[in-house]
Amino acid sequence: MKRIDDLLGLRVFEKVVTLGSLTAAAQALGISLAAASKRLSKLEQYLGVQLIHRSTRRLSVSDEGQTLYDYAQRIVSELEQAEEAILQKSEQISGTLTITSPNSFGRRHLVKLIAEFRQLHPNIIIQLLLSDSIEEMISEGIDVAIRYSELPDSRLVARRLLNNDRILCASPDYLAQNGTPQTLDELYQHHCIIISRHTEINWAFPTQTLHIQQAISCNDGEAAHAMALNGMGIVLKSYWDVAEDLSTGKLVQVLPEQAVISAPINIITLKNQHQPARIRLFIDFLLNSLQPLQMHKDKF
């Protein structure tokens, strides 16, 4: 009877199936792609079965591989928990934590929080990727994503971080020159800045949906923000992006009585049985640190 004693090979296999990529598995384990591929092949040779079908486009799990994966998940999870228990006793939680965030939220809020988190846990290596896309999360081994969007994949799970209230705003100079709209329909007579690759978009309000077209469009939220500051028009932005400018008077809220339909800001992680301590610590830190920001917004 064969006994599996290659724990690294088992870990490589488990990560390949979980993350859907040999490259992502190698990155998550901190080994080279060649070493990961060799370990997986060695495990298959030892068992005498093909665990994963490889092609140039995708990987798929064989029936034998699925059977092993069901056990491997539990084994790897228990090993990681044992390692963390030892590390916690010695107060040396370490490892690499890969985080992705939208550009504006990352620059305005997350960088400062990461600096504070590193002061508490200096042995954790931080990798921050600023991006407005989430498609890369599984393939590139990202641990934590902060996103405004809905989940695109059933292998991900979201937890609410903050309410994402969005508001209409413009610079005082723009409103002085063009007037302040008093109703939603009056927005059609104004220069509207939309964040899109296209020149038209829908702005959804509880009472009606406006189809904004022939607008000023930009595919980057930070650039659209700058356009509004420079008096180019009215923009629809998350409160968290424009709060400082509202408080200093660089921007003015337009139609403040009009609520805007929006989704919360979520913390998104992979759906698995066990999260390393560094991920749990970071999520708890974010939730605790951002509560004062939420309370400040509610008083605005």
Model confidence at 250, pLDDT cuts 50, 70, 90, reads: very high
Which of the given ranges, 21-25, 108-112, 184-188, 284-288, has the highest pLDDT on average?
184-188
Q: 146 and 291 share a domain?
A: yes
Q: 199 and 127 share a domain?
A: no
Q: Alpha-carbon distance 18 to 10, whole Å?
A: 12
- Among 53, 70, 89, identify where a domain stops: 89
Exposed, middle or buried: residue 101 (CB in 10 Å: 0-12, 13-18, 19+)?
Answer: buried
Query: What is the per-residue pLDDT across 31-71, written as a single tens digit (0 to 9) for each?
Result: 888 989 999 999 989 888 999 988 767 788 999 889 998 88
Count the domains in the chain: 3
Model confidence at 299, pLDDT cuts 50, 70, 90, reads: very low
Q: 156 and 208 share a domain?
A: no
- Among 46, 62, 89, identify where a domain stops: 89
Q: What CATH number did the domain enclosing 62 receive?
A: 1.10.10.10
Q: 118 and 195 share a domain?
A: no
Q: 138 and 182 share a domain?
A: no
Task: Give the residue numbers spanning the domain of 183.
Answer: 166-254
Residue 2 lies in a domain: no
- φ, ψ for residue 108, nearest 5 deg: -80, -30
Q: What CATH number did the domain enclosing 177 receive?
A: 3.40.190.10
**In 10 A of CB 195, how many CB atoms?**
18
**Contact criterion met (CB below 8 Å) for 69 and 17:** yes
pLDDT computed for residue 272 by the predictor: 66
Q: Which of 241, 208, 263, 269 is nearest to 105 (CA)?
A: 241
Q: 29 and 99 share a domain?
A: no
Residue 193 lies in a domain: yes
Q: Alpha-carbon distance 64 to 15, whole Å?
A: 16
**In 10 A of CB 223, how many CB atoms?**
12
- Among 89, 109, 126, identify where a domain stops: 89
Residue 259 lies in a domain: no
Residue 1 lies in a domain: no
